[in-house]
């Protein structure tokens, strides 16, 4: 079987719809002889006659009618594929694989992604829960496009960009005396039983809380370390401990847990992680979205020592 190109299908569709070679040639802005040759070449490629002559022009054979239906589909699929490729090149289509860990998924991450996807209906989203070290490996290998977490360490070949910040709160068991004041300070932690999170790769949010206590002049009174914020809040609800959490964690509703803002702590940053080179178009498009919608100043870091943000 000889190869068939899209131009042959375009010519075939025009002749079939016009029922006349001369009119089809005029429609295609070409002369009749080359159009006739293209149709003859298509018939040789397919191996069957596609048209029969009539006094007024041509009409489809049964085989030609079957091919016409498929030819329309092929042309439509081709146009769709080209359109999707152009959208993908512009960061408007494709599949965006996003890794996340911890409380950012309770607020900032879905808000950022929802705003990005709202004007890009052809982009599909894949979410994967993954610790920071797993995110870094997956992004470097091209299996993931973006990661979201806190306290990223600088990684060779990857960029850390701060995309949001939020105040810190103190999670307390229901009825705790500190709840009456409606706010708390770091010094109030001295006499508490503190749960830190998360365990795992350092630096982490747990290190940030420990440093804040040290800057306030005391050692963090740690009684437990939890793998994630939900487990930490479980200790607050069940054992009466307390935990320092970002504001996004206050969206979690557990019986017996209340929150008060910590009035003397700096806001905690949320960052995204992505490749430093060969940045996919979808990632570039997302970063442009962050630049235009976030009030957070653009802060990035690449390789080198630990970056605390």
CATH number for the domain that contains residue 138: 3.40.190.10
Half-sphere exposure of 232 (CA within 13 A, CB side): 29
Is 307 within the bounds of a domain? no
Alpha-carbon separation of residue 158 from 116, 198, 236, 282 (angstroms): 22, 22, 36, 16
192 and 247 within one domain: yes
Average pLDDT in the 21-46 region? 95
Lowest mean pLDDT among 89-103, 231-245, 273-287: 89-103
- In the prediction, which pLDDT does 297 show? 58
Q: What is the tens place of the pLDDT at every residue in 169-191? A: 999 999 999 999 999 999 999 99
257 and 135 within one domain: no
Q: How many structural domains is the chain composed of?
A: 3
183 and 214 within one domain: yes
273 and 159 within one domain: yes
Expressed as residue numbers, the domain containing 256 is 168-266
Q: Is the pLDDT of residue 212 over 80?
A: yes
pLDDT bucket at 68, cuts 50 / 70 / 90: very high
Write the CB contacts of 103 (distance below 8 Å, at least 6 apart in sequence).
229, 245, 246, 248, 249, 252
147 and 281 within one domain: yes
Is 308 within the bounds of a domain? no
pLDDT bucket at 23, cuts 50 / 70 / 90: very high
Is 172 within the bounds of a domain? yes
Query: Which tokens belong to 184?
Result: 């708390």
167: nearest Cα among 115, 76, 245: 245
- In the prediction, which pLDDT does 301 show? 55
Q: Is the pLDDT of residue 204 over 50?
A: yes
156 and 134 within one domain: yes
Q: Which of 66, 87, 108 is the last residue of a domain?
A: 87
109: nearest Cα among 16, 246, 15: 246
Q: What is the tens place of the pLDDT at every residue in 118-154? A: 989 889 999 999 999 999 999 999 999 999 999 898 8
257 and 176 within one domain: yes
104 and 79 within one domain: no
Q: What is the tens place of the pLDDT at every residue in 235-252? A: 999 999 999 999 999 999
pLDDT bucket at 298, cuts 50 / 70 / 90: low
Is 117 within the bounds of a domain? yes
pLDDT bucket at 307, cuts 50 / 70 / 90: very low
Residue 55: which CATH number? 1.10.10.10
73 and 21 within one domain: yes
- In the prediction, which pLDDT does 305 show? 33
pTM for the predicted model, two decimal places = 0.72
Is 16 within the bounds of a domain? yes
277 and 260 within one domain: no
261 and 112 within one domain: no
Is 82 within the bounds of a domain? yes
pLDDT bucket at 227, cuts 50 / 70 / 90: very high
* Mean of all residue pLDDT scores within the chain: 91
The DSSP-derived string for 58-79 is EEE-HHHHHHHHHHHHHHHHHH
Give the position of tokens 């996919």.
280
Is 221 within the bounds of a domain? yes
Neighbouring CB atoms inside 10 A of 13's CB total 18
- In the prediction, which pLDDT does 154 show? 84
Q: Which of 61, 87, 113 is the last residue of a domain?
A: 87
The strand pairing partners of 145, in sequence order, are none
250: nearest Cα among 100, 107, 101, 102: 107
Q: Which of 23, 55, 87 is the last residue of a domain?
A: 87
Percent of the chain residues topping a pLDDT of 90: 81
Q: Is the pLDDT of residue 306 over 50?
A: no
235 φ, ψ to 5°? -65, -40
Alpha-carbon separation of residue 279 from 88, 112, 292 (angstroms): 13, 19, 19
Write the CB contacts of 152 (distance below 8 Å, at least 6 apart in sequence).
132, 160, 271, 273, 307, 309
Is 178 within the bounds of a domain? yes
279 and 137 within one domain: yes
- In the prediction, which pLDDT does 240 show? 96
Q: How far apart are CA 199 and CA 189, in angstroms?
A: 20
Q: How far apart are CA 91 and CA 284, in angstroms?
A: 7
- In the prediction, which pLDDT does 304 show? 35
């Amino acid at each position: 079987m000889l190869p068939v190109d899209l131009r042959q299908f375009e010519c075939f569709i025009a002749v079939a719809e016009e029922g006349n070679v001369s009119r089809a040639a005029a429609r295609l802005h070409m002369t009749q002889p080359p159009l006739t040759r293209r149709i003859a070449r298509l018939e040789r490629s397919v191996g069957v006659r596609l048209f029969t002559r009539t006094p007024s022009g041509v009409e489809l054979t049964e085989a030609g009618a079957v091919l016409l239906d498929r030819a329309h589909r092929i042309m439509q699929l081709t146009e769709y594929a080209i359109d999707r490729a152009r959208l993908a090149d512009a960061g408007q289509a494709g599949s965006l694989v996003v890794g996340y860990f911890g409380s950012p998924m309770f607020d900032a991450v879905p808000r950022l992604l929802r705003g990005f996807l709202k004007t890009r209906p052809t982009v599909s989203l894949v979410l994967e829960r993954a610790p920071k070290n797993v995110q870094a490996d997956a992004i470097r290998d091209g299996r993931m496009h973006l990661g979201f977490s806190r306290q990223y360490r600088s990684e060779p070949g990857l960029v850390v960009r701060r995309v949001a910040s939020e105040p810190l709160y103190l999670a307390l068991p229901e009825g705790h005396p500190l709840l009456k004041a409606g706010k708390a300070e770091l010094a109030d932690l001295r006499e508490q039983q503190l749960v830190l999170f998360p365990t795992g790769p350092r630096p982490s949010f747990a290190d940030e809380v420990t440093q804040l206590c040290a800057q306030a002049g005391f050692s963090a009174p740690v009684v437990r370390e939890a793998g994630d914020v939900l487990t930490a809040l479980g200790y607050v609800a069940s054992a009466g401990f307390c935990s320092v959490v970002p504001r996004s964690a206050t969206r979690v509703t557990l019986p017996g847990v209340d929150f008060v803002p910590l009035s003397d702590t700096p806001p905690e940053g949320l960052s995204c992680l992505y490749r430093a080179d060969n940045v996919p178009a979808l990632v570039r498009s997302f970063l442009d979205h962050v630049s235009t919608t976030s009030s957070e100043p653009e802060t990035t870091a690449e390789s080198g020592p630990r970056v605390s943000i």
